[in-house]
Amino acid sequence: MSISDLRRKAKEAWMTGKFDKALPIFEQLHQQDPKDLRIFVKLAEVREKNGDKKGAVRDFIHIAESYANDGFVVQAIAISKIILRIDPSRTEIQNHLRSLSEKRGDDWAIRTLIPQDYEPTSPVSEDKKFNFERTPLLSMLSGDELQDFIASLSLKTYQEEASIYQPGDSGGNLYLIGMGKVRLEAGNNADATYAHLSDGDFFGEAAFMSRTSRVDTAIAESEVKILTIKRDTFDTWVASYPNIQSTVESFYSERVLARILAISPIFKEIPVNVRMRLADNFKLCHYKMGDEVIRENTPGDSIFLIRSGHVKVIMTSPKIPNRLIDLGEIHEGSFFGEVSLLTGKPRTASVIARCPLELMELRKKDFDHIVERFPSVKRVVARFQKQRVQDTIRTLMERT
**pLDDT interval class at 20 (50, 70, 90):** very high
Q: Classify residue 40: in a domain, yes or no.
A: yes
- Give 110 or 154, the one with higher predicted confidence: 154
Q: Which residues of 14-25 are buried (b: 16+ CB within 10 A; e: fewer)?
A: beeeebeebbeb
Q: What's the predicted TM-score (pTM) here? A: 0.72
Which pLDDT does position 223 carry in this prediction? Answer: 92
Q: Which of 122, 120, 138 is nearest to 67 (CA)?
A: 120
152, 175, 194 - which closes a domain: 152
Q: Classify residue 160: in a domain, yes or no.
A: yes
Residue 313 and residue 194 share a domain: no
The gap from C-alpha 139 to its chain's centroid, in whole angstroms, comes to 19
Average pLDDT of the residues in 132-157:
78
Read off the pLDDT of residues 259-283 as tens digits, 9 standing for 90 and up: 777 777 777 777 777 776 777 788 8
Average pLDDT of the residues in 347-364:
92
Q: Classify residue 242: in a domain, yes or no.
A: yes
Residue 281 and residue 254 share a domain: no
Sign, CA dihedral 317-323-325-331, equals positive
Which pLDDT does position 373 carry in this prediction? Answer: 85
Residue 40 and residue 74 share a domain: yes
Res. 312: pLDDT tops 60:
yes
Res. 124: pLDDT tops 80:
no
263, 297, 315 - which closes a domain: 263
Residue 35 and residue 10 share a domain: yes
Question: What's the half-sphere exposure (Cβ side, CA atoms, 13 Å) at 301?
Answer: 6
- Give 255 or 338, the one with higher predicted confidence: 338
238, 263, 288 - which closes a domain: 263
What range defines the domain where residue 307 resides?
Answer: 276-399
Q: Classify residue 374: in a domain, yes or no.
A: yes
Residue 162 and residue 91 share a domain: no
**CA gap 210, 195 in Å, rounded:** 19
The gap from C-alpha 35 to its chain's centroid, in whole angstroms, comes to 28
Residue 230 and residue 167 share a domain: yes
Residue 9 and residue 26 share a domain: yes
Number of domains forming the structure of the chain: 3
Average pLDDT of the residues in 156-173:
94
* % of the chain surpassing 70 pLDDT: 90
Which pLDDT does position 120 carry in this prediction? Answer: 44
Q: Report the CATH number at residue 133.
A: 1.25.40.10
Res. 122: pLDDT tops 80:
no
- Furthest C-alpha separation in the chain: 86
Q: Report the CATH number at residue 220.
A: 2.60.120.10
- According to DSSP, the residues that pair with 314 across neighbouring strands are 326, 350
H helical segments located in the chain: 3-15, 19-32, 37-49, 53-69, 73-86, 92-104, 126-129, 143-152, 205-210, 231-240, 242-263, 272-278, 338-343, 364-373, 375-399
Residue 104 and residue 166 share a domain: no
- Give 166 or 130, the one with higher predicted confidence: 166
* % of the chain surpassing 90 pLDDT: 38
The mean-pLDDT minimum among 146-155, 213-222, 263-272, 356-365 falls in: 263-272
- Give 235 or 399, the one with higher predicted confidence: 235
- Computed over every residue of the chain, the mean pLDDT equals 84
Which pLDDT does position 106 carry in this prediction? Answer: 63
Average pLDDT of the residues in 160-164:
95
Question: What's the half-sphere exposure (Cβ side, CA atoms, 13 Å) at 263?
Answer: 22
Which pLDDT does position 115 carry in this prediction? Answer: 39
Read off the pLDDT of residues 356-389 as tens digits, 9 standing for 90 and up: 998 989 899 988 988 888 888 888 888 888 888 8
Average pLDDT of the residues in 175-191:
88
Residue 354 and residue 247 share a domain: no
